[in-house]
Amino acid sequence: MKRSVRSRRKKTIENNLTRSKNREESDENENDPFSRITVDLKKEILMKLPAKSVAKLAFVSKTWASIIRSKEFTDLYMTRSSTRPRLLFKVHRHGDHFYHSCSQEDPSRDHQRVTITQIRNPIKSYDFSPPSGGLVCCLSDSSKVLLVGNPSTGQFVPLPKVRTRRLGIVAFFGYDHVSDVYKVLCMTVKNVKKQDRLLVVSEEHQVYTLGAEKKAWRLINCQHPHLPPFHTNGLCINGVLFYYAWTRNKGSLMSFDLRSEEFSVIKLPENVRLLQDFCSLVNYGGKIALSTRLYEGTLDLCVLEDASKQEWSKVSVVVPCGSDLSGRYMFWFRGALSTGELIFASYSPMEPFYLLSYDPKEDIAEKVVIEGIGDQFSDVRVYHDHVDSPLFLSNES
């Protein structure tokens, strides 16, 4: 008898919960003016919105969230975004970090700004990676905390803490579009005494795969002792990470294949002295290149034509009126757009902030003023071919 009463009570409670849930969903649909629109039409509407706005709509209702956070929609959105690449600016000012982006085709329109509130700290400094697959990674110098973030939505999430007793760590970030996987490569450094000399080399090479079922760092093998300079960012092109490093007291270019997770050492061209020549890594038409600063209107590039054969070519570009356009500022080459235009940016604060653009086909150079950056900033980094992404990052720690 008692068991029967309990059973009836349990069934009544379950029915009440079901009715309550159905009532909530019904109320949600009544409050949602788009509830009667087909899913395909909803997707088309969302595709026309900036990623930041799309991310906010995910909190409007469960229906919107299920669409926006689905892999199908994210892939569709990013595929369409890749046909409209953007210029991305990472700005640091008074402890604040924010991203500013604009249309790459016409920098005068479609400006968007996203403040990164999760890492606001005037004391700690952060090293940010270049964007790869629409995401970035940043490392706190003092606390060895790594975060992965979406500069289009402003969402950043911490990664599990790197397990090490070493004081220093270096990290790189990349995306492989073939396997559709984001990975973080991390390594610690240690002192080694060899023939009465104190050497510093990397060890404890670890990889973290974003979104993997097991949220943990994996130790991998590296057969090439090397040391990347601190505060070096590296660059990911076609699923391969490239970064500078010292190997046997020589400057070299390291590569790390995100799919095979194998390291390779690439010998630098003759007469390139790594840091002494102020070389930076750039994407030059889908190839990794070493670039010097724009000096008196001349740009020198060393382009890696074939990594397996370690073949390099040298490219020299003379920018007409380059010295007149740059004024007293030092400009660095940031890369070549799909249109063939070359983009140069200053590391020094200036107001108004502007880029130099050079079209080698038309032999025309011009200033491109970027509105909305503001003034009194301490650092601005410029990236091209950024892909807007609505990707929602789940908790990784």
pLDDT per residue as tens digits for the range 343-383: 988 767 677 788 888 898 888 888 888 877 766 677 788 99
**Mean pLDDT of all residues in the chain?**
81
φ, ψ (nearest 5 deg) of residue 200: -115, 120
pLDDT for res 345: 86
Instruction: Return d(Cα 397, Cα 385) in angstroms, integer.
Output: 30
Distance CA 275, CA 244 (A): 9
Q: List, in sequence order, every residue forming a beta bridge with 192; answer none if it has no partner.
A: 199
What is the per-residue pLDDT for 198? Answer: 44
Output the pLDDT for position 14: 54
270-279: Cβ within 8 A, 24+ apart: 272/302, 274/244, 275/229, 275/244, 275/251, 279/244
- For residue 162, the one-letter residue type is V
Pair of tokens at residue 234: 């590296």
Q: Give the tens place of pLDDT for each residue, 149-206.
A: 999 999 999 999 888 777 678 899 999 999 999 999 999 876 554 544 445 667 789 9
**What is each CA distance from 48 to 42, 44, 77, 84, in whole angstroms?**
10, 7, 9, 12
Q: Is 326 exposed, middle or buried (0-12, 13-18, 19+ CB in 10 A)?
A: buried
- Closest C-alpha to 97, from 112, 116, 114, 113: 116
CATH 3.40.50.300 holds for 82-386: no
Q: Is 224 exposed, middle or buried (0-12, 13-18, 19+ CB in 10 A)?
A: middle
Provide CB contacts within 8 A for 303, sequence distance 6+: 284, 287, 288, 289, 312, 313, 314, 315
Query: Residue type for 244, please?
Result: Y
Long-range contacts of 106-111 (CB under 8 A, 24+ apart): 107/355, 107/368, 107/370, 108/371, 111/371, 111/372
The residue ranges of every structural domain in the chain are: 1-26, 82-386
- Residues of the chain with pLDDT below 50 are 2, 5, 17, 122-123, 193, 195-198, 275-276
Contact 148, 386 (CB under 8 A): no
Q: What is the pLDDT of residue 381?
A: 86
Whole-model pTM? 0.85
CB atoms inside a 10 Å sphere around CB 111: 16
Q: What distance, in Å, lies between the first and last C-alpha atoms of the chain?
A: 50
Give, in degrees to the nearest 5, the angle at Cα 337 between 335 and 338. 140
pLDDT confidence of residue 181: 96
